[in-house]
């Protein structure tokens, strides 16, 4: 299977869930194993590769093999949510490790970083990830253990040059981890650009159907840190369940076609909104005027994604009204699913959040583009 895997395009591997037909039954869909425990044979050796499901199981393992292949990693581990994966990575760092993370990033992950720093578990510095010189200035050669970046980053969709960040991190002896949730493998493969670890909230594009939470870590190398991460998952029980892994496999089979369509519709929407009189600014890396567009063209080779934000004229109340006035877009948090979502982002972050009052975040789904455009037009007119 490995030889076959190496020659095929990731889109093919995803569509066929790595292309294995069940040897026993001929089923073209991988089976779902829910067993928590795995038997031993007459010699008291385990019959298969698994012992107990808190450590690993066949369906989770299959999903992990697919995720590893999609990102071109040495391995992959799946967790019960993105945050469980993120927490395991932090837990694997040595006591007091120096960590760098963006000033503007996924809110809950930054909140957890700040808590860990407050407890003294890590030493944290936040930097402006849109300025490469800010990363260089924040790095402490020989001291910094981990640089965390997110690209494109919530909710402004700033784009970070992964290759440049990897070079800077490595020159200081640090690892680079990339939150690539909003740039999944059909468009960006951070390990090929020099990153050491890729993170996905698989809740979002990888699964794509808003029906499970999952997190993925994918390493460039199977090293000591990686072994530690697996140990932490086994010890703390953050592993993904068998049924969720099975659903995730099903979701990933359509990842490439979903992402391409979502990117196409998002670009059409961004271009439409750019000309709308009530819209002050459209934040989307696919627009030529977006500050990250040049990097995005190099780094997001399969589309600019389905996430965009708009800044409205007016105040916080009128922005909230727009987000509540849609009929096709569902007013809800999260992203990357088949249904389009709209959110007044400030309302779901903390009072200290740097997100502008009038920012509305949009996750584009698979509906007819015309319906989405009409819906936003009527919501903007109504509010
Ligand atoms: C959702 C999200 C996370 C957290 O993942 P969960 O699956 O919700 O735990 C992290 N980073 C980004 C960019 C996200 O969108």
CA of 205 to the centre of ligand 1 (A): 11
Domain boundary among 206, 236, 252: 252
Domain count, the chain: 2
Same domain, 269 and 285: yes
Domain boundary among 252, 273, 292: 252
State whether the Cα torsion 140-113-183-227 is positive or negative: positive
Instruction: Kindly state the average pLDDT of the residues 237-259.
Output: 98
Kind plus residue range of the DSSP H or E element containing 235: helix 224-236
At 23, the pLDDT band (50, 70, 90 cuts) reads confident
Kind plus residue range of the DSSP H or E element containing 147: strand 144-150
Same domain, 68 and 14: yes
Same domain, 259 and 242: no
Residue ID of nearest Cα to ligand 1 atom 5: 82
C-beta 106 within 6 A of ligand 1: yes
Same domain, 311 and 366: yes
Residue 114, domain CATH: 3.40.640.10
Domain boundary among 196, 223, 252: 252
Residue 349: what pLDDT? Answer: 82
Same domain, 290 and 367: yes
Same domain, 204 and 228: yes
Round to whole Å and give the CA distance between 34 and 59.
8
pLDDT digits (tens, 9 = 90+) for 214-225: 999 999 999 999
pLDDT digits (tens, 9 = 90+) for 275-284: 999 999 999 9
- Structural domain boundaries enclosing 367: 255-382
C-beta 201 within 6 A of ligand 1: yes
CA of 179 to the centre of ligand 1 (A): 9
**Residue of 79, 153, 155, 203 to mutate, ligand 1, most atoms within 8 A of C-beta:** 203
Round to whole Å and give the CA distance between 98 and 29.
44
């Amino acid at each position: 299977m490995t030889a076959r895997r190496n020659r095929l395009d990731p889109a093919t591997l995803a569509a066929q869930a790595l292309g294995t037909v069940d040897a026993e039954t001929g089923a073209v869909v991988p089976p779902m194993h829910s067993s928590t425990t795995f038997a031993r044979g007459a010699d008291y050796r385990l019959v298969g590769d698994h012992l107990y499901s808190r450590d690993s199981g066949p369906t989770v393992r299959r999903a992990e093999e697919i995720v590893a292949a999609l990102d071109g990693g040495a391995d992959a581990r799946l967790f019960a949510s993105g945050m469980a994966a993120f927490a395991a990575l932090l837990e694997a760092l040595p006591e007091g490790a120096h960590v760098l993370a963006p000033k503007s990033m996924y809110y809950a992950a930054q909140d957890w970083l700040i808590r860990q720093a407050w407890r003294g578990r890590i030493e944290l510095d936040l930097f402006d990830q849109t300025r490469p010189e800010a990363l260089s200035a924040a790095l402490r050669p020989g001291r910094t253990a981990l640089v965390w970046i997110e690209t494109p980053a919530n909710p402004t969709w700033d784009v970070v040059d992964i290759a440049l960040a990897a070079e800077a991190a490595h020159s200081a002896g640090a690892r680079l981890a990339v939150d690539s949730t909003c740039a999944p493998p059909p468009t960006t493969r951070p390990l090929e650009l020099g990153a050491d670890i890729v993170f996905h909230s698989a809740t979002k594009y990888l699964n794509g159907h808003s029906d499970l939470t999952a997190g993925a870590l994918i390493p460039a190398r199977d090293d000591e840190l990686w072994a530690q991460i697996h140990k932490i998952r086994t010890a703390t029980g953050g592993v993904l369940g068998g049924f969720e892994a099975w659903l995730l496999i099903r979701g990933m089979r359509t990842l490439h076609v979903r992402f391409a369509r979502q990117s196409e519709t998002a670009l059409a929407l961004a271009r439409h909104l750019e000309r709308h009189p009530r819209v002050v600014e459209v934040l989307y890396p696919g627009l030529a005027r977006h500050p990250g567009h040049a990097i995005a063209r190099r780094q997001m080779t399969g589309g600019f994604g389905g996430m965009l934000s708009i800044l409205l004229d007016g105040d916080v109340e009128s922005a909230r009204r727009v987000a509540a006035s849609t009929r096709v877009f569902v007013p809800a948090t999260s992203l990357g699913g088949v249904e389009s979502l709209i959110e007044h982002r400030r309302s779901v972050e903390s009072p200290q959040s740097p997100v502008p009052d009038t920012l509305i975040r949009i996750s584009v789904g698979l509906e007819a583009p015309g319906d989405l455009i009409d819906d936003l037009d009527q919501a903007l007119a109504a509010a």
